[in-house]
Structure 1
């Protein structure tokens, strides 16, 4: 909407019409003269939306009180029926003048300057990027952002941002943060050749003293508003609902975005949310009339901060799908001191939004060079990751950071980003993310769990280990096995260790040789308390066997050194409970109680 009134004599009108302070006039072919139509009015400017193609115009007119005002009019209102309603706004429309008035307005809109507007941000197509102002390969094409969702209006001066950067650019971790922020611009151009590259989801993990939020603020300062809780800020909170998060990201195709403090998430399970964030679409839902709702979409870099990770099984399921969609950076000391952190926060709050425009212009005219740079970065990432199980899929994501650093150096030589060091830092600090697969991670976690809960394991010839029994310890040819009851295995793996499917884990365990199983099964059957029971028999690595207190009761042939009396059992259990720092007496159940304690799955009398 235009605020300044335009003098009537300066308004452009089509042939056959005249406009002055006296009113609007139309040429009459019969009288060969201009006849009065209505008090003066005309369109003085207009906008055309790239989002849906609709147009709106700023109509300047004289009200019945004689005031000159401007009102926004939609193109769809330029009909004989709709303009009659304008009389309610003080516009001089009558049944006799509406036809020439409408003819004038339809023709006159071609005489005004119509600016392009857009509600989405980022790449609109291969040659145009929607920032605060339109960035296009055509220098004559202009446009502006017409949305309050993202504040991309630069603040302060570029000189202030670069002055801050000159004081911190030797910090490799902060170089990584800037590369993460700028990487959002590269995703669409690169994904034209690598369609699997949708979004870059990067998790900054650490306590408050590591400077993770400061690094996230620095990352988005390259594009726009860094001030949390302000309108259009690129720093948002996890306190939003799972439904609201896709709405916040909808239409973002190249502007970095932060979800700060994972601990504020209000839901129970982030698995679906993370998949949606990584894939760039919201869940498809049906309307009440059985049609599909329009889904949200985005393609950008999303930074997540928190004191615990997205992939540790506490907020999302452990599966390989998520592992290949997230770069989780652990134990990075982003800032060297509290003074440096405060310095960055202050400067990023006062000067932001100055870099993204220049990088977009560079990318538009250097696409082939960008792809060559990216392919070289992929090879470097694969070399740094050696034979990691997810190397092929994750190397593409790490390569985006390396290619971003190279592109940034060509755009601004003074930025001084070390591409190789940035990639090495990201890969080394996310080793847990890519160095082991699902089976390896769950297996290691399961061994640790069994060590911590060994008081709940039976020994041969004993009647019980504790009031809760989850399985039994066995020794076979100097190899230790923990025989877990199937329901206990499922509970431990899915509820305590966060795996999404116990069946998938069991299948992978069998492939890796982590199980003692019968030829045609993933389980085996052993005798417990005089009955044949089906168990999941987990092989314990030799290096971990000494951590099981009860292992001392076995001799070299895998047999218990002596029969267990109730006194022996109590002594063993007291020792185990003491080692586990569990207090309280242990009650001895009888055989019926033992059967009730054991959660056994299939069983058969021996």
Structure 2
């Protein structure tokens, strides 16, 4: 709509993530209304997307000092930033919930029906660009007060529709405004001289469905934690035990070792799981964002970890190797101990467990 979409075009609005942070911010500085594209986030060298996404979303560059000790002018922008990539920057952030308000993410979407259609769209846009945007603005400006009122009306309508789908969280309330802006934009495009005849009902349904999905993923920490707890109860005999009886140095020996359950001195429990077993357990429950799950547990105090990591190095058996382990925390026995637990006849010495454990590994 606004400029040449070719990534190599000078002074265009389409860029790649293969840039320094300062270069990206320079591209945004002073932009108040023209959408910007940053293509393929996988090219970014950022170690963490948390701070970067917050800065992009707030529209203000970080304060810096100049050589004289005074403040440099900060870059400011108020626009829409479109990002593409093969992985989710939200899933790479430890502050997932806060970013969800600022970032609408659409994943696993087939935007075109075929390769030929995609090529036709690309060729058409490359040959005809920069004309639709001004036409759109010509329609909007004289009607701006009415458009703003319509956004407020649509916001309430969207909230009602989301509540009908069972979505009532504070996050949903805050994101409804963004959806209302998108829907009013679609309506104005149809009413303007562009006459694109966009399917407003289909687009609305698409956005609502994406919200249902986003809300489900925002509850990822809780649903995955409950699922993992159920798996412990169902597969109690796959875990070594420590501190479950009078003899604190004796273990129950499972036929297949997934990890070890420790009773802690304060009455709580820690479930130590080999990473490969944890991933297999969770994927079996259709949880694929393993790192995101662990980060959520970490933020909610449900994970024991070493500084800067999501694992702990531990020996699950005496004289065994010290390995990186996922350690989930549970408050009491009712959460993870089934009504019937192994008896003393099932216990063997730690040295016997070591033999079986090494065979299994």
Tell me the TM-score normalised to structure 2 length. Answer: 0.71
Of 249, 270, 277, which aligns to 1:483? 270
- 1:375 shift after superposition: 1.5
Q: Distance in 1 between matches of 2:64 and 2:270?
A: 44
- 1:469 shift after superposition: 10
Query: Secondary structure of 2:15's partner?
Result: strand
Q: Distance in 2 between matches of 1:279 and 1:228?
A: 25
CA 1:277–1:569: 2 relative to 1, 3 Å: farther
CA 1:368–1:344: 2 relative to 1, 3 Å: same
CA 1:470–1:297: 2 relative to 1, 3 Å: farther
Task: Please identify which structure carries the higher strand content.
Answer: 1
Of 341, 344, 348, which aligns to 1:559? 341
2:132 counterpart of 1:355: yes
Q: How does 1:272-287 map to 2 (within 5 A)?
A: 272-287=51-66
Question: Per chain length, whose mean CA-contact separation is higher, i.e. which structure has more relative contact order (CA < 8 Å, sep 6+)?
Answer: 2
2:295 counterpart of 1:499: yes
Q: Distance in 1 between matches of 2:241 and 2:175?
A: 43
Give the unaligned 5+ runs of structure 1.
1-221, 475-480, 510-528, 530-534, 546-550, 575-583, 588-606
> In structure 2, what is the equivalent of residue 332 of structure 1?
109
Query: Secondary structure of 1:330's partner?
Result: coil
Q: Distance in 2 between matches of 1:541 and 1:319?
A: 30
- 1:300 shift after superposition: 0.9
Alignment coverage as a number of residue pairs: 304
2:215 counterpart of 1:426: no
Query: Secondary structure of 2:220's partner?
Result: helix
2:102 counterpart of 1:294: no
CA contact (8 A) 2:132 2:194 kept: no
CA contact (8 A) 2:158 2:180 kept: yes
> In structure 2, what is the equivalent of residue 417 of structure 1?
198
Of 9, 26, 32, which aligns to 1:230? 9
Residues 181-236 of structure 1: CA deviation (Å, up to 9, x unaligned): xxxxxxxxxxxxxxxxxxxxxxxxxxxxxxxxxxxxxxxxx111111122122221
CA contact (8 A) 1:384 1:424 kept: no
CA 1:413–1:225: 2 relative to 1, 3 Å: closer
Q: Which protein has the larger Cα radius of gyration, Structure 1 or Structure 2? A: 1
Q: CA RMSD in A?
A: 4.0
CA contact (8 A) 2:252 2:346 kept: no
- 1:325 shift after superposition: 1.0
Of 321, 329, 333, which aligns to 1:536? 329
Task: Please identify which structure carries the higher helix content.
Answer: 2
Give the unaligned 5+ runs of structure 2.
280-289, 303-316, 318-327
Tell me the TM-score normalised to structure 1 length. Answer: 0.44
Query: Secondary structure of 1:357's partner?
Result: helix
- 1:293 shift after superposition: 1.3
Q: Distance in 2 between matches of 1:255 and 1:419?
A: 23
> In structure 2, what is the equivalent of residue 402 of structure 1?
183
CA contact (8 A) 1:484 1:538 kept: no
- 1:409 shift after superposition: 1.4
- 1:539 shift after superposition: 7.6
Query: Secondary structure of 1:229's partner?
Result: coil
Query: Secondary structure of 2:330's partner?
Result: strand
Query: Secondary structure of 1:243's partner?
Result: helix
Of 275, 288, 304, which aligns to 2:83? 304
